[in-house]
């Protein structure tokens, strides 16, 4: 295979010319794009739940950690990234920013109240009181702390938001490390069956021109958030929204015909959602939101880090249903687009951690330190202890997935990858907005995906592959519209391994479409490691024989590939049908974090979760749309 990694992975950080005193140097742009890895979902001590878990890491420390500096976690253990990240947005919960500001800032009228004193002692009972105030139908701040009108807390939010802005400004180094302003919007609806319907979204801003406050679940629904962004964030202010944990949404993110609060769709709401919400978090520490075995489509790769238990017969809330997953949404969006002229589920993909330790991008399986402060800061707590059980007052600690420690259901989380011209706020954000993004399960696999009606049959072998692919096609996140009559689209895909993780095993293209009113999905292996070829009948790669010796966590050294690439033409293409295509890249198996830590404790490897995993990456999709009216 011809190598082109050096071309596509070149990091252009050169200074175009001498800078004038007081001005930032101009960063050279790479028109073929560089890959950057980052974190767009991290909580610090400015989130009330993170604070209650005794997390000592504030936003400035979280940024410095992401840049490669060590940080001391709760309990005194030090953690440092093996490789720094390229970009980070600290996304503390919008809800309770003001409450925490009042309780932790000496001199204000609420600092010495009984409630605030208990909050500073990490009293979960006080957290429960405050968290309950935004759960369910009654969304009113705690009067004891915020006043009857809530104004004390809403005013205090502005002070904390300024601190976030200062931390972002002080840690931004264009060309080397990008900080993005952001926060999490975190509504929860308690179900009568128990558990939570989580409808959380992260808001990411393009520049430091941002509103002077944030929009929280106290102010409205997700649809209200979209409207607030378009009416409040104007001019130089730009923002996008990224939903996450659809796996714990009871399907409410991707309902058809109704909004997250059950009200009916309108054309205005659908079009606004499509404009403001271009991405979805496909993987994080609370599991995969791509798909789940036994729910939705038949897909042999859906049994991966599933966190929420499937709904039993007769129950549809507080558990996982087919509508909870991105695969369902992608195919449903095709049908909605056909009927209403807009696709509200036209999502690109990213990964994240959602760690409440402030440890941005700490995703290594063999060095997992937990994510919930004092609740899981030791291997014994993560493997053996029951911990604090999830309940209607604790929206961020969802359902357990088996006996033993409920912490076993968590994982170290994923990463967001982008293809951008340079490492600056504007360039990174623009890549997010156009969906030229990919998500990983924590590894740093790099993946590119292009589609066209005009590709050469082996374009992936060209020395100028990336330039030719941009010239003749569209990248991930793009759209193909009605090519030459009866001609099928061709897709080019390339991936390179993370040198600190396992070799690659295969590349797979997943296609979704609607045929005669029925939602369809099929996965096709297009590149196999070890010079293997996909089976002509099944479309799947033969097993490459890679194994893991679980006793010592040693994987096969002679199996897998450093780089894989392929060109594939859809043999079942129907020009009259909308379709969506995305890529999955798989590594050889490795030990799961719980296996490593069972060995550390000299206890049996847990049997209620897999002892091994296959790390993976997901490209953002490419969509095909026929010419309307034909």
How is 161-222 classified by DSSP, letter by letter?
Answer: HHHHHHHHHHH-BTTTBEE--EEEE--EEE-TTSSEEE--EEEEESSS---SS---TTT--H
Would you say residue 436 lies in a domain? Answer: no
Q: Which pLDDT does position 23 carry in this prediction?
A: 44
Structure tokens at 430: 């623009």
Tell me, yes or no, whether 438 lies in a domain.
Answer: no
Say yes or no: 394 and 524 in one domain: no
Distance in Å from the first CA to the final CA of the chain: 41
> What three-state secondary structure class fits 3?
coil
In the listed set 404, 431, 458, which residue is the last one of a domain according to the structure?
Answer: 431
Cβ atoms of residues 293 and 310 within 8 Å: no
427 lies in the same domain as 447 = no
Q: Are residues 415 and 269 in the same domain?
A: yes
Which pLDDT does position 628 carry in this prediction? 63
Q: What is the pLDDT of residue 522?
A: 97
284 by DSSP, 3-state: which?
A: strand
> What pLDDT was estimated at residue 486?
80
CA 487 to CA 630: how far, in whole Å? 16
H-run or E-run covering 93? none
**β-sheet bridge partners, residue 170:** none
Instruction: Note whether residue 175 is domain-resident.
Output: yes
Angle of CA points 226, 512, 291, to nearest 5°: 70
Q: What angle is formed at CA 354 by the lines to CA 348 and CA 360, rounded to 5 degrees?
A: 100
Task: Kindly state whether residues 411 and 503 are assigned to the same domain.
Answer: no
502-533 confidence digits (pLDDT tens): 999 999 999 999 998 899 999 999 999 999 99
Q: Based on the domain organization, do 149 and 198 belong to the same domain?
A: yes
| Residue 578 within any structural domain of the chain | yes
pLDDT under 50: residue ranges of the chain: 1-23, 191-194, 387-404, 630
For position 582, what pLDDT does the model report?
98
Q: Does 97 fall in a domain?
A: yes
Of 411, 431, 451, the one marking the end of a domain is 431
Last residue within a domain, chosen from 405, 431, 457: 431
For 96-139, write each residue's pLDDT tens digit.
Answer: 999 999 999 999 999 999 999 999 999 999 999 999 899 866 78
Q: Quick one: 452 and 416 in the same domain? A: no
Tell me the sheet residues that pair with 440. 415, 617
Output the pLDDT for position 117.
Answer: 97
589 plus 546 within the same structural domain? yes
Residue 437 lies in a domain: no
Q: Is 91 in the same domain as 139?
A: yes
Q: Which domain holds residue 543?
A: 443-625
In a domain, 486, yes or no: yes
pLDDT in tens, 394-418: 333 333 333 346 789 999 999 999 9
CB atoms within 10 A of CB 577: 17
Residues 464 and 347 in one domain: no
- Do 497 and 411 share a structural domain? no
Distance, in Å, from the CA atom of 620 to the CA atom of 419, rounded to the nearest integer, reads 11
Coil, helix or strand at residue 86: coil
Rg of the chain, C-alpha, whole Å = 24
CB 362 within 8 A of CB 411: no
- Give 602's Cβ-side CA count (13 Å radius): 0
The token duo for 577 is: 């049908």
Do 278 and 390 share a domain, yes or no? yes
Q: Which residues contact 52 (CB under 8 A, 6 or more apart)?
A: 119, 122, 123, 124, 127, 373
Question: Is residue 32 domain-resident?
Answer: yes
Residue 19 pLDDT: 34
Q: Percent of the chain having pLDDT more than 90?
A: 84
Is 300 found in the same domain as 194?
yes
E strand or H helix at 143: helix 143-146
Q: How high is the pLDDT of residue 197? A: 82
Q: Are 535 and 542 in contact (CB under 8 A)?
A: yes
CA separation, residue 482 to residues 30, 464, 474, 520 (Å): 30, 26, 13, 20
Q: What size, in residues, is the chain? A: 630
Count of domains in the chain? 2
Q: For position 358, what pLDDT does the model report?
A: 97
- Give the separation between CA 109 and CA 363, rounded to whole angstroms: 41
């Amino acid at each position: 295979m011809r190598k082109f990694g050096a071309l596509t992975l070149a990091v252009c950080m050169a200074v175009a010319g001498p800078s004038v005193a007081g001005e930032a140097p101009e960063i050279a742009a790479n028109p073929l794009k560089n890959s950057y890895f980052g974190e767009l979902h991290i909580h610090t001590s400015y989130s009330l739940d993170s604070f209650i878990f005794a997390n000592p890491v504030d936003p400035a420390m979280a940024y410095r950690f992401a840049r490669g500096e060590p940080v001391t976690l709760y309990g005194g253990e030090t953690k440092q990234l093996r490789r720094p990240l390229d970009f980070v947005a600290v996304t503390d919960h919008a809800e309770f920013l003001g409450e925490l500001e009042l309780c932790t800032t000496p001199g204000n009228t609420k600092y010495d109240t009984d409630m605030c004193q208990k909050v500073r002692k990490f009293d979960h009972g006080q957290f429960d009181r405050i968290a309950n105030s935004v759960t369910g139908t009654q969304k009113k701040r705690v009067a004891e702390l915020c006043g009857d009108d809530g104004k004390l807390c809403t005013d205090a939010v502005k002070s904390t938001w300024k601190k976030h802005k200062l931390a972002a400004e002080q840690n931004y180094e264009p060309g080397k490390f990008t900080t993005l302003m952001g926060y999490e919007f975190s509504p929860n609806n308690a179900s009568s069956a128990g558990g939570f319907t989580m409808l959380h979204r992260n808001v990411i801003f393009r520049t430091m021109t941002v509103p002077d406050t944030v929009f929280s679940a106290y102010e409205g629904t997700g649809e209200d958030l979209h409207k607030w962004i378009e009416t409040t964030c104007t001019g130089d202010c730009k923002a996008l929204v990224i939903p996450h944990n659809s796996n714990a949404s009871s399907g409410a993110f991707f309902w058809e015909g109704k909004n997250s609060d059950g009200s009916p769709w309108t054309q205005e709401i659908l079009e606004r959602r499509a404009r403001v919400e271009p991405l979805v978090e496909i993987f994080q520490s609370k599991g995969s939101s791509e798909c789940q075995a036994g729910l939705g489509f038949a897909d042999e790769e859906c049994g991966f880090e599933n966190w929420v238990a499937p709904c039993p017969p007769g129950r549809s809330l507080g558990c996982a249903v087919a509508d909870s997953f991105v695969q369902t949404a992608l195919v449903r969006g095709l049908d909605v687009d056909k009927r209403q002229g807009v696709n509200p589920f036209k999502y690109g993909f990213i990964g994240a951690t959602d760690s409440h330790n402030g440890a941005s991008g700490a995703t290594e399986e063999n060095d997992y330190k937990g994510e919930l402060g004092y609740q899981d800061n030791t291997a014994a707590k993560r493997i053996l202890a029951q911990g604090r059980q999830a309940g209607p007052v604790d929206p961020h600690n969802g359902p357990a997935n088996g006996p033993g420690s409920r912490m076993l259901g968590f994982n170290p989380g994923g990463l967001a990858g982008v293809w951008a011209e340079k490492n600056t706020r504007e360039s990174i954000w623009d890549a997010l907005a156009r969906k030229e993004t990919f998500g990983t399960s924590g590894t740093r696999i790099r993946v590119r995906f292009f589609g066209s009606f005009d590709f050469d049959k082996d374009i992936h072998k060209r020395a100028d592959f990336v330039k030719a692919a941009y010239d003749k096609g569209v990248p991930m996140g793009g759209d193909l519209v009605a090519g030459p009559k009866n001609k099928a689209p061709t897709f080019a895909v390339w991936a390179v391994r993370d040198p600190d993780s396992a070799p690659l095993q295969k590349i797979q293209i997943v296609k979704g479409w609607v045929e005669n009113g029925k939602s369809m999905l099929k996965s096709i292996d297009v590149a196999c490691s070890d010079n293997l070829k996909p089976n002509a009948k099944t479309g799947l790669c033969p097993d490459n024989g890679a194994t893991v010796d679980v006793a010592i966590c040693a994987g096969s050294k002679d199996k897998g590939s450093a780089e894989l690439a392929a060109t594939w033409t859809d043999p079942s293409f129907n020009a009259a049908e909308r379709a969506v295509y995305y890529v999955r890249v798989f590594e050889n198996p490795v030990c799961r974090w719980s296996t490593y830590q069972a060995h550390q404790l000299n206890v049996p490897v847990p049997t209620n979760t897999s002892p091994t995993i296959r790390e993976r990456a997901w490209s953002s999709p490419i969509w095909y749309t026929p010419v309307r009216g034909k």
